[in-house]
Amino acid sequence: MLEFFIGHYAYWLVIILLCVGIYGILFKKNLIKKTIGLAVLQISVVIYWVAIASKEGATVTTLDPNIPVDQVANYLNPLTHTLMLTAIVVGVATLGVAFTLLMAIYNRYETLDEQELLDKIQ
Amino acid sequence: MIETHLPALIALTFVLFSILIPAFGLWRRELSQPLAVIGSGLAGGLSIYGFIEYLNHGAIRYSFGGWEPPVGIEFVYDGLSGFFVMVINVVAFFSIWHSGGIAKREFPGKEMPYYALAMLMLLGFNGIVMTGDLFNLFVFLEISSLAGYALIAIGDRPAPYAAFRYLIIGTAGGTLYLLGAGLLYTVTGTLNIIDMTPMLPHFAESTAVVAGLILMIVGIGVKAALFPMHGWLPDSYTYASSSSTTLIAPIGTKVAAYVLFRIIFYLFGVDLVDATAPFTYLVGVLACIGIIYGSIMAIAQSELKRMLAYSSISQIGYIIMGLSLANPWGFAGALLHVLNHAVMKACLFMVAGNLRAKEGHSDISLFDDSYRKKYPWTMTAFSIAAISMIGLPPLAGFFSKWYLVLGTIDNSNWIFLAVIVISSLLNAVYFFRVYEKMYMMDPYKGQKEPKDGEYNDVKGSMLWPTSILAVSLIVIGFANAVIVGVLLDIFPM
């Protein structure tokens, strides 16, 4: 049983972060906290993709002259790492847009609390 | 020569114009909108040509940089993607043509960033539709969404808040899609859709595949405003500027519906989707609830744009219901409804935009008899599009519902049939409410000297797109047999 938890610790981290992120999005009333929840959710998926690249006894995906490249078991899977670079960039862009919108909201309503905001819009 | 490069050319047109518009827009601001019209017109022409090429010569697989798939990224231009690209680009061309007058009124001075973002959003939509790679699809999804959030945030006072809510829900959906794609990647070791398809049946019982499927459907369902995930849509469409709504409402949710088609029919295949649980049926039930919910909520609205937004939730339900029927009639009906609804909704939102431009509001309770004298052409377009939405022959909307009905009968699925009929009645209720105001309500009742409203319709650049779309509804209605013949050939099973 313990083996099940320790042996998959990366995936447990993913699950915990995923739950924290969704909790933040759904239940936090402050819009900044919602945005943080979103960032946590995105990072959990990034960690999942990075975790699935791992192999036992393999090294990082940088070419080492001492390790022959034709034996693929010597290196981690580089594809997921490169894909996640793109995903991280997308995530940063999303956060940029989110904070721009938050500034526009604050300039118009002078609050970032969801309940107050809804009261003011009505 | 040009034929083999068509998929890349369509996408690159938008890249080119999203660079040209800032370059020329800084020099002469008024050039932004004509350039955007040229760009989307060029892409629209190319995509019509491309679809004809597809009909004559078959599908095109375009691999970028000479890297053969599955190593490289490819664009797959087959019947389904060719059809969607054509609908998206042609409707976007009319929307952008129409938006010139609104842009001057609703956000003067911001035309350059607006049209550059519009081009980026269309690039994202075209990329989603044409790409043959699951991760590439995610990237295009985020490109279109990020541009879309910014376009929605331009508008009335609460527009940034509506856009923010859309951003939170939409990005969470995109992230869940990415997780689902990751689960499929762990099982198959590839991200190319055509490459992955033959591998998946070996893992039909794998929990990772089932979880991946559910996560992808939920993630894309958010973008498609499938019933429980539709919360972002009404506010976004209501508060956004009329030109943004006209551009996004007809095509935004369709693109997400396209991804569902691609996943369920092409990537998995209906048999595999239904192997562990009847997912297609469940999606159909959600779509049915959405149809009824959207129609009832639309009746309760007094603001025209908000009513149309709720009606969008109900209409996207038809498309997804057609998907869930998983037979040729349902498929053809759903695709025909993609075309019809894109044209109808674009036309109706243009009417809302025209009214806002002239009257400063689009509140149904203030409509009266004089509107139809002041804006005869706009109101004619509204009448045609609304009759088509209700689904009266010989207009286009009737035929897509007709083929959906044939699909439900084919599956002996009487509940879905009842939903289509009931929702058509509800459609009639909320559009006849507007007709009643427009034709029956005399604003000068009781006054001694009634004065007629004088002709005051919007100018040509806004009137022409509205009228052309209205007329095309009649044309599509008469040409439905031809279109459905083509669509039935696309059906993959």
pLDDT tens digits, one per residue of B357-398: 888 888 888 887 777 788 888 888 999 999 999 888 888 889
What are the residues facing B333 on neighbouring strands? none
Determine the Cα–Cα distance for residues B329 and B88; give it in Å rounded to an integer: 22
* Neighbouring residues of B118: CB distance < 8 A, sequence distance ≥ 6: B36, B96, B147, B151, B247
Phi-psi region of B269 (alpha: psi -120 to 50; beta: other; left: phi over 0): left
Chain center to CA of B383: 21
Percent of chain B with pLDDT over 70: 98
Determine the Cα–Cα distance for residues B312 and B221; give it in Å rounded to an integer: 14
Of B144, B143, B218, the C-alpha closest to B180 is: B218
Residue B319: is its pLDDT beyond 90? yes
Q: B293, B314 in Cβ contact below 8 A?
A: yes
Backbone angles phi, psi at B374, to 5 degrees: -75, -40
pLDDT at B339: 93
Determine the Cα–Cα distance for residues B67 and B396; give it in Å rounded to an integer: 43
Determine the Cα–Cα distance for residues B250 and B94; give it in Å rounded to an integer: 11
Alpha carbon of B165: minimum distance to chain A alpha carbons (Å) = 9
Residue B13: is its pLDDT beyond 60? yes
Task: For B149, name the nearest residue in chain A, comparing CA atoms only.
Answer: A97
CB contact under 8 A, B175 and A45: yes
The pLDDT tens digits for A37-67 are 999 999 999 999 999 888 887 778 777 888 7
Determine the Cα–Cα distance for residues A52 and A74; give it in Å rounded to an integer: 15
Residue B211: is its pLDDT beyond 80? yes
Residue B445: is its pLDDT beyond 90? no
Identify the band that residue B302 occupies on the pLDDT scale cut at 50, 70 and 90: confident
Q: B458, B101 in Cβ contact below 8 A?
A: yes
CB contact under 8 A, A108 and B160: yes
Average pLDDT, chain B: 88
Contacts of A83 in chain B (CB under 8 A): 135
3-class secondary-structure state, position B240 = strand
Residue B84: is its pLDDT beyond 90? yes
B439-to-A6, B309, B443 alpha-carbon distances in Å = 72, 24, 11
Identify the band that residue B444 occupies on the pLDDT scale cut at 50, 70 and 90: low
What are the residues facing B133 on neighbouring strands? B192
Q: What is the mean pLDDT of residues B437-462?
A: 70
* Neighbouring residues of B303: CB distance < 8 A, sequence distance ≥ 6: B238, B362, B363, B364
Find which of A90, A99, A116, A117 to mutate to test the B interface (most B CBs within 10 Å of its CB).
Answer: A90
3-class secondary-structure state, position B131 = strand
The residue written with tokens 């909307």 in the block is: B397
Top mean pLDDT of B64-73, B323-332, B457-466 is at B323-332
CATH code 1.10.287.3510 for A2-121: yes
pLDDT at A110: 87
Q: What is the ipTM score, two decimals?
A: 0.94
- Using the Cβ of B63 and the Cβ atoms of chain A, whether some distance falls under 8 Å is answered with no
pLDDT at B441: 72
CB contact under 8 A, A52 and B153: no
Determine the Cα–Cα distance for residues A25 and A30; give it in Å rounded to an integer: 10
Burial class (CB in 10 A: 0-12, 13-18, 19+), B329: buried
Residue B337: is its pLDDT beyond 90? yes
Determine the Cα–Cα distance for residues B333 and B318; give it in Å rounded to an integer: 9
User: How many CA atoms lie less than 13 Å away from B326 in the CB half-sphere?
Assistant: 22
- Using the Cβ of B179 and the Cβ atoms of chain A, whether some distance falls under 8 Å is answered with yes
Kindly list the domain boundaries of chain A, sorted by start residue. Answer: 2-121
The pLDDT tens digits for B266-287 are 998 888 888 888 888 999 999 9
Question: CA angle at residue A51 from A45 to A55, to 5 degrees?
Answer: 160
Task: For A111, name the nearest residue in chain B, comparing CA atoms only.
Answer: B161
Determine the Cα–Cα distance for residues B442 and B450; give it in Å rounded to an integer: 9
Alpha carbon of B423: minimum distance to chain A alpha carbons (Å) = 30
Q: B94, B346 in Cβ contact below 8 A?
A: yes
Of A38, A108, A117, the CB nearest to B171: A38
- Residue B276, number of CB atoms within 10 A of its CB: 15
pLDDT at B451: 56
pLDDT at B490: 86
Task: For A25, name the nearest residue in chain B, comparing CA atoms only.
Answer: B168
Q: B342, B251 in Cβ contact below 8 A?
A: yes
Residue B56: is its pLDDT beyond 60? yes
pLDDT at B454: 72
The pLDDT tens digits for B119-176 are 999 999 999 999 989 999 999 999 999 999 999 998 888 899 999 999 999 999 999 9
Which tokens hold the place of B83?
């059809």
pLDDT at B450: 52
Identify the band that residue B60 occupies on the pLDDT scale cut at 50, 70 and 90: confident
What are the residues facing B76 on neighbouring strands? B61
Identify the band that residue B179 occupies on the pLDDT scale cut at 50, 70 and 90: very high
* Neighbouring residues of B279: CB distance < 8 A, sequence distance ≥ 6: B213, B214, B217, B273
3-state secondary structure A37-96: HHHHHHHHHHHHHHHCCCCCCCECCCCCCCCCCCCHHHECCHHHHHHHHHHHHHHHHHHH
Q: pTM for the whole thing? A: 0.93
